[in-house]
Amino acid sequence: MLAAYERATAALAKAQNVLVLTGAGISAASDVPTFRDAQTGLWAKYRAEDLATPEAFARDPNLVWQWYQWRRQLVREAQPNAGHYALASLAQAKAVSLVTQNVDDLHQRGGSPDVIAVHGALFDNHCLNGHAYQAETDGLESPPECAQCGALVRPGVVWFGESLPEHALQRADSAVRMAELALVVGTSSLVWPAAGFAESAAARGIPVIEVNPQATPFSPQATYHVRGLAEQVLPALIGTALESPTT
């Protein structure tokens, strides 16, 4: 009998329409800390969950703004890793819908052509009334004000307690419905509604491959749980699947 890893590779080789769901773990090897890692340096005394909220921004806009400026700088200095590149190569061979909870731009820089970013984008800004803000904010230590309405400008990411962007949500839902196989990479599967995409895919009965060094609340529903690091597992899994004669 084939081991789970070989069966996962064979299932990936066969599927033509693949849903990929990624979380912070895929960027860990690029030195972008995951959300549930303890923070380091200046920010060690804060928890990400306590800064990424509308309430935190209302209480102390400068503090939250500076945290995002720090994260922006960290991501600017980061490079995509082998996991990002492997997913880009998968998209050259198959119909891939890549749904990410990450707000970094490493999938895009790694060559993935079409990224559905359900938690927004770190480098976007809009004001508290929703007006887009295009001016440069690099180096600003406090949030600027909107030229249209004077409200404070904030990062264009989805905070705890906020709704997901409607368009991205619709695209993710349709990708879940169309997929023949799902690959769930580097997410703790703790944050809803994003965690629901993997659950819905599993409920459809398609094979679901989870790539994560740790077990998650989703693991019992995964068809195959490959316990390993995305930057190691994805190049091997995708490389072998794409070489397989069934592709």
CB closer to ligand APR, 64 vs 146: 64
Q: Is 231 helix (H, G, I), strand (E, B) or coil?
A: helix
Q: Give me the catalytic one of 84, 119, 126, 167.
A: 119
Least distance CB 65 / ligand APR (angstroms): 17
Are the CB atoms for 108 and 91 separated by under 8 Å?
A: no
Nearest to 61 by CA among 145, 160, 119, 147: 145
> CA torsion 160→75→25→176, rounded to 10°?
60
Q: Is 119 a catalytic residue?
A: yes
Tell me which of 188, 199, 208, 218 binds ligand APR, using CB under 6 A: 188
Are the CB atoms for 34 and 71 separated by under 8 Å?
A: no
If you ran DSSP here, which 8-state letter would residue 132 be given? B
State the amino acid at position 211 in one-letter form: V
Q: C-alpha angle with apex 89: 87 to 94, nearest 5 degrees? A: 90
Q: Which of residues 121-180 bind ligand APR (CB under 6 A)?
A: none
Least distance CB 61 / ligand APR (angstroms): 19
Instruction: Examine residue 212 and tell whether it contacts ligand APR (CB under 6 A).
Output: yes
Residues 6+ apart with CB under 8 A from 30: 78, 79, 80, 81, 84, 104, 106
Instruction: Examine residue 191 and tell whether it contacts ligand APR (CB under 6 A).
Output: yes
Q: What's the rounded Cα separation, in Å, for the pair 194 and 188?
A: 11
Total chain residues near ligand APR (CB under 6 A): 25
Q: Which of residues 49-88 bind ligand APR (CB under 6 A)?
A: 52
Tell me which of 8, 13, 21, 25 binds ligand APR, using CB under 6 A: 25
Q: Which of residues 87-126 bind ligand APR (CB under 6 A)?
A: 101, 119
Residues labelled catalytic? 119
Residues in contact with ligand APR by CB under 6 A are: 23-25, 28-29, 34-36, 48, 52, 101, 119, 186-188, 190-191, 211-214, 216, 229-231
